[in-house]
Amino acid sequence: MPVIAVIGAQWGDEGKGKIVDLLAEKANIVARFGGGSNAGHTVVNPQGTFKLRLIPSGIFHTKATCVLGNGLAIDLTAFFEELAMLKESDIHPSNLYISDKAHVIMPYHYILDGLEEEAKGANAIGTTRRGIGPMYVDKVSRLGIRVGDLLDKDVLRSRLEPVLKLKNDIITKVYGDKPLSFDEVYKQYCDFGQRIAPFVREVDSMVIDALDAGELVMLEGAQGALLDIDHGTYPFVTSSSPMIGGACTGLGLSPLRIDHILGIFKAYTTRVGAGPMPTESHEEPGNTLRERGNEYGTNTKRPRRCGWFDAVISRYSAQINGFNHAALTRLDILDTFESIKICTAYKVGDVTYTRPPSLPGLLEKCEPVYIEMPGWNCDITNIKRYEDLPAEAKAYAKKIEELLGCPINLISVGSAREQTIEVSPIL
Ligand code: GDP
Ligand code: IMO
Ligand code: MG
């Protein structure tokens, strides 16, 4: 049985949670491979409406084992809050595991995320302030604390003592803020160690064994390709690799085992946080998209920046991820527009770009070149079959498919699981 990866194709919030919840019915394992509680994945299904940050969106299918891979940034407070939230809806995950190699968000990561953002002033990234950047910095500097370290109090002490001293020096001497108490942090994380122990596994081995047993493994991306630390709109990116490459390193999975790479594309463009966004619209259609689409962050409640579909970044995303499938989500949000635009290229002066330029400051100067298509002006939220979509909606999806260079297998017309049109099967 294959591996299917579900990857955010734009700047995040494309509807990955909804699609994973839908497809996970067939999965034996659903794995997150990167990011942390900076993600906010909304799932609407017969059990209710859920906003997940860490726990995979496959958790509603009792057959699926849900795992958090080594690439994750584990915020233990968020993890236990999420478990409690699920329990309130009578969902008691029994097959939920965390890699011993995943790194842990520590209290100083939260503090430093805030202090660094403040210090950057007008150049702030607009992070979610969940400690993500500082945690990945520590991982790469080999100062990180891993989930496995929490299981042994002596190991934790030996890891934490020198690191906390260093962090307190930075917090007090660079930023003039209050130091953290070793005793308090140590105690809190020893307690976390006890609570997390039943969830800790060698997740990489679990995934390999599942594949060898012929099981279906689904990889749930977080964030989106344009937020990738290497290929995104640097420095306005997250600190991990939300792309397909990150799925391999974040789980210990060979790329040769991944058969299906499904890119999730919102039918227009949104972005939350700072950084260039060529199709951003400050008036119309931006305001209508934000209000009709309730485009406010799942996680931080910040208003999302909105604009027409940007086929330049989207095609680039399809190319660097090698998508062989796509899902087009939130098509229903476009129901009321007389006409709809798609950005097919950028212009700076006389120069035309068909891939996003990466030299500093250039993307900020790019003016979108649009094509215009007629809208459909009717409610599509109850449509179940592709044939029943209005001709204009089909033409819009076809045009996007042509611009992406990869087939659209799914069209989503509402937040609920069943509001999904299968254009052609993926599995
Ligand atoms: P994710 O981070 O990629 O999982 O996406 P988010 O959950 O942050 O944001 C997507 C939002 O759109 C959520 O509120 C979903 O419930 C909702 N959603 C997903 N697909 C559709 C759709 O086709 N139509 C509408 N109207 N809402 C959708
Ligand atoms: P999901 O999985 C949208 C953005 C932040 C900020 C930048 C860096 O729900 O699609 P970070 O806290 O990661 O250091 O912030 O990345 N960002 C997201 N935007 N959806 C997300 O996740 C995001 N995760 C991070 O807004 O611009
Ligand atoms: Mg989200």
Instruction: Supply angle C-alpha 393, 398, 399, rounded to 5.
Output: 100
Among residues 226, 346, 351, the alpha carbon closest in space to that of 279 is found at 346
Kindly list the distances between the CA atom of residue 164 and the CA atoms of 105, 112, 380, in Å, as whole numbers in the listed order. 13, 12, 55
Q: Domain residue spans in the chain?
A: 3-91+202-422, 103-198
Q: Residue ranges of the chain with pLDDT lower than 50?
A: none
Distance in Å, CA 154 to ligand 2 centroid: 35
Cross-strand pairs, 309: 342
Q: Give the per-residue pLDDT at 297.
A: 82
**Nearest CA owner, ligand 2 atom 16:** 238
Class in CATH terms, 103-198? mainly alpha
Give how far the C-alpha of residue 378 lies from the chain's centroid of Cα atoms, to the nearest Å: 31
State yes or no: cis peptide before 235, omega within 30 of 0.
yes
Q: Establish whether residue 221 lines the binding site of ligand 1, counting it when its CB lies within 6 angstroms of any ligand atom.
A: no
**Nearest CA owner, ligand 2 atom 20:** 12
Are 51 and 42 in contact by the 8 Å Cβ rule? The answer is yes
**Nearest CA owner, ligand 2 atom 6:** 127
47 secondary structure, DSSP code: T
Distance in Å, CA 403 to ligand 1 centroid: 23
For 196, the enclosing helix (H) or strand (E) is: helix 182-196
Distance in Å, CA 230 to ligand 2 centroid: 15
Q: Which atom of ligand 1 is nearest to the CA of 420?
A: 23
Q: Give the per-residue pLDDT at 302.
A: 87
Q: Which residues have beta carbons under 5 A from ligand 3 (an ion)? A: 13, 40, 298
Length of the chain in residues, anyone? 427
* Separation of alpha carbons 138 and 133, rounded Å: 9
CATH topology of domain 3-91+202-422: Adenylosuccinate Synthetase; Chain A, domain 3 (3.90.170)
In the chain, the amino acid numbered 59 is I
* Separation of alpha carbons 279 and 295, rounded Å: 16
19-38 b/e with 16+ CB inside 10 Å = b? bbbbbbeebbbbbbbbbbbb
Is 41 in the active site? yes
Q: Establish whether residue 16 lines the binding site of ligand 1, counting it when its CB lies within 6 angstroms of any ligand atom.
A: yes
Which-ligand-closest: CA of 21? 1
Structure confidence by residue, pLDDT tens digits, 291-346: 999 999 866 788 999 999 999 999 999 999 999 999 999 999 999 999 999 999 99
Instruction: Give the list of residues 6+ apart from residue 384 with CB closer than 8 angstroms, or none.
Output: 418, 421
Catalytic residue among 21, 41, 75, 103: 41
Tell me if 3-91+202-422 shares its fold with 103-198: no
